[in-house]
A and B are shown apart, each in its own frame.
Chain A
Amino acid sequence: MSKKNLLELENINLTFKKKKILEGVSLSLVKGKSYVLMGPNGSGKSSLAKVIMGYSSYQPKKGAKIIFQDQEITGLDIDKRARLGIFLSSQSPPDFDGIRVTDLLQTALADKKSYLQIRKEVEKLSQELQLDPTLIKKPLNQAASGGERKKLELLQAAILDPTFLILDEIDTGVDVDALKTISQFIKRHFFKADKTLFLITHYQRILEYLTPGQVLVMKAGRIIKSGNSSLAKLIDKKGYRWI
């Protein structure tokens, strides 16, 4: 009885101090498919991701509608959306002092998993991600490199097990080997029929590991083009100007 669409965005407008950031974005995403969103710096990609996630300072203007798994979530708080199965890996996650990734996950999953269970899973996943084992014992992101932060985001995603996963520039600032590790990790954990992946990236390279079902291009707050994986290759060669 459930429709095929996982997420419907209708008429998303977002402004900051009269500056238009998103302009009438509408989009339908299908369950189990993977998407790539590309676009020049400042075109509004991260803003769109935050609108979907429900960041309180990224509330779209009136007339917008967000439907997730047949349920309207426009105006729903960020933590409730997370509990419905939306996960956004942040482009620049903050550093914490005193909160380890296991503390965060234990609080998030208090009613589902024990601390020991979580710690075991974290250890296993951090091996898969080739993370330095001392890192997960330290406060989250404290003294972590750019690439390590990205891996810690993926580690959280794998444990929280969302149905809809938005990865905002998960491949930025990541070395060649790490890119391979990360891509394989994504493939293993999130390329599944019951999960939908929404990848924001500037680079074709990650797409060599993860072939997207659909490529979307954003420019000046609008989605202006859509195509298959060859569109990403074209952009890699020619940039955005020709579009």
Chain B
Amino acid sequence: MKTTFQLAKGLTEDNIRQIWQRKKEPQWMLEFRLQALKIFYKLPLPKWGPNLSQINFEDFSYYQEVTTTPPRSWEDIPTEIKATYEQLGLPEAEQRFLAGIATQAESQILYKSLRRQLQKRGVIFLSIGEGLKKHPQLFRHYFASVIPPTDNKLAALNSAAWSGGSFVYVPPGVKISQPIQAYFLINIPSVGQFERTLIIVDEGAELNYIEGCSAPLYHQSSLHAGVVEVIVKAGAKMRYTTIQNWSKNVYNLTTQRAKVYQNATMEWIDGNVGSRITMKYPCCLLVGKGAKGYVLSLSLASRGQYHDTGTKIFHLAANTSSRVISKSISLEGGRSSYRGLVYTSPQAVNSKSSVSCDTLILDPQSRSDTYPTMQIKNPKSLIRHEATVSVLDEKKLTYLMSRGLSRTEAEGLLVTSFATPVTQQIPLEYASELNKLIKLEMEASIG
């Protein structure tokens, strides 16, 4: 991609105004952005987990425009990333696409045929910018309704500077069984560092949405602060899968939250492999009676990486239930923490929640911590929390090696099997890529 416009560095009112101008957005969005900028400056950085004080927010350019012809050539992609693409066995078209050098035509053809199919059923699947232009009322009604700029400093940053991302609306009763892949949109016209996703699944509808991929995303800029808002109306079902493998210079600070109405179900499936620091806590607001929240997450933190991830579940109505399964793997001095919150309000009678966190630590230099918080305002709810920490079982390793597996192969097999509860929930091609990636990461750690 070739950058045709780059905003001057820094988070100033003038810069934010320029983003708004260049994107030709309505007046209310300017007010929203400027308000968010004020909030950004007021709010403190998160006081927990990784130290973010090294980030100099004034040192980034918050908006670029790019052409989709690929002047960046294959030769410009770091060899480390190319090697991983090859080891993952990705077809060349996909490699080029991921590296950001695919042609417009390549991705547009795929995207257009998908969009046509969805349109027939009344489904809106657009880039978020187009969503705002083509469906202004729907957009304004839901935008920032789940994650307001006041939520946290990084959500405020995103609210001020956002560009890119997707907008999806599924009308009542429409069930989309085939997973919808987001990466068609994200690459048009640019990979966003401050993208926003807004998804509305109307009553009784179903959507399965997949974002990201297990190949490393090449990124020149090292700050990623996304916002994902999901609204799941009564009786609807939504599954949002993220498989993220940012390159290892990236700070990935993303806010994801779903509002789940009566008897609706929200499932977050979240795999974090790359990045330098990830802070991410997929959240479910169970606001309707009988709403269900389900979070399945996997984190792999290797050398120089720190993942502070977890989930937040708010039981705000009767008979709501939630289930959290978190799996984290630390190796080569990597660090991962699970930070979770389960809250039950006084109204949330007969609510049920069960949380299990399993951690695998591959060597003594690595570290893993669990910080569960429970705020129970309702005695008539059932909350369960389990945590396990394990190392690789020497007996099992020896057994596998006695069948001819090398130590690395045996370790790889044990580690991927630890991740199975997550990988078996995602589409096969993602699962096998994720497994290969885990093995690659482990081979790299000994080699």
Q: Is the CB of B407 within 8 A of A79?
A: yes
Q: Is the CB of A103 within 8 A of B413?
A: yes
Q: Is the CB of B414 within 8 A of A99?
A: yes
Q: Which residue of A lies closest to B395 (CB)?
A: A94
Q: Tell me, yes or no, whether B400 is within 8 Å of chain A by CB.
A: yes
Query: Beta-carbon contacts of A81-118 to B below 8 Å, as 1s and 0s?
Result: 01100011010011011110001110110000000000
In the bound complex, residues from chain B placing their C-beta under 8 Å from that of A146 are none
Q: Is the CB of A79 within 8 A of B402?
A: yes
Binding site for A on B (CB under 8 A): 393, 395-396, 398-407, 409-410, 412-414, 416-421
Q: Which residue of A lies closest to B423 (CB)?
A: A98
Specify which of B393, B395, B403, B420 lies most central, judged by the most chain A CB atoms within 10 Å of its CB.
Answer: B403
Q: Tell me, yes or no, whether A29 is within 8 Å of chain B by CB.
A: no
Q: Tell me, yes or no, whether A139 is within 8 Å of chain B by CB.
A: yes
Q: Tell me, yes or no, whether A22 is within 8 Å of chain B by CB.
A: no
A90 and B399 in contact, given A82-B404, A160-B404 (Cβ under 8 angstroms):
yes
A93 and B401 in contact, given A79-B407, A139-B417 (Cβ under 8 angstroms):
no
Q: Is the CB of A96 within 8 A of B396?
A: yes
Q: Which of B393, B396, B403, B421 contacts A82 (CB 8 A)?
A: B403
15 of the cross-chain contacts (CB-CB < 8 Å) are: A77-B401, A79-B402, A82-B402, A88-B402, A94-B395, A97-B420, A98-B419, A99-B413, A99-B417, A103-B413, A104-B413, A107-B400, A108-B404, A108-B405, A156-B403
Cα–Cα, bound, A160→B400 (Å): 13
In the bound complex, residues from chain A placing their C-beta under 8 Å from that of B398 are 55-56, 78
Cα–Cα, bound, A224→B232 (Å): 76
Q: Is the CB of A98 within 8 A of B420?
A: yes
Q: How many Å from the CB of B134 to the closest CB on chain A?
A: 45
Q: Is the CB of A93 within 8 A of B405?
A: no
Q: Is the CB of B399 within 8 A of A79?
A: no
In the bound complex, residues from chain A placing their C-beta under 8 Å from that of B401 are 77-79, 82
Q: Is the CB of B409 within 8 A of A107?
A: yes
Q: Which residue of A lies closest to B416 (CB)?
A: A98
Q: How many Å from the CB of A200 to the closest CB on chain B?
A: 15
Query: Beta-carbon contacts of A42-71 to B below 8 Å, as 1s and 0s?
Result: 000000000001011000000000000000
**Which range contains the number of A residues in contact with the other chain?**
20 to 34
Cα–Cα, bound, A139→B418 (Å): 12
Q: How many Å from the CB of A198 to the closest CB on chain B?
A: 15
Cα–Cα, bound, A187→B401 (Å): 26
Q: Which residue of A lies closest to B401 (CB)?
A: A79
Cα–Cα, bound, A41→B234 (Å): 66
In the bound complex, residues from chain B placing their C-beta under 8 Å from that of A103 are 413, 417
Cα–Cα, bound, A132→B158 (Å): 55
Q: How many Å from the CB of B304 to the closest CB on chain A?
A: 28
A172-227 at interface with B (beta carbon < 8 Å): none
Cα–Cα, bound, A156→B399 (Å): 12
In the bound complex, residues from chain A placing their C-beta under 8 Å from that of B400 are 99, 104, 107
Q: How many Å from the CB of B223 to the closest CB on chain A?
A: 36
Q: Is the CB of A96 within 8 A of B402?
A: no
Cα–Cα, bound, A181→B259 (Å): 58
Specify which of A55, A98, A104 lies most central, judged by the most chain B CB atoms within 10 Å of its CB.
Answer: A98
Q: Is the CB of A53 within 8 A of B417?
A: no
Cα–Cα, bound, A214→B400 (Å): 30
Q: Report, nearest first, the 7 A-B pairs whose CB atoms are least far apart.
A: A98-B417, A98-B420, A82-B404, A79-B401, A108-B404, A99-B417, A78-B401
Cα–Cα, bound, A82→B404 (Å): 5
Cα–Cα, bound, A55→B398 (Å): 7
In the bound complex, residues from chain B placing their C-beta under 8 Å from that of A96 are 396, 417
In the bound complex, residues from chain B placing their C-beta under 8 Å from that of A93 are 399
Q: Which of B395, B407, B413 contacts A107 (CB 8 A)?
A: B413
Query: Beta-carbon contacts of A132-167 to B below 8 Å, as 1s and 0s?
Result: 000000010000000000000000100010000000
Q: Is the CB of A160 within 8 A of B413?
A: no
Cα–Cα, bound, A96→B403 (Å): 14
Q: Which residue of B lies closest to A100 (CB)?
A: B417
Q: How many Å from the CB of A43 to the closest CB on chain B?
A: 22
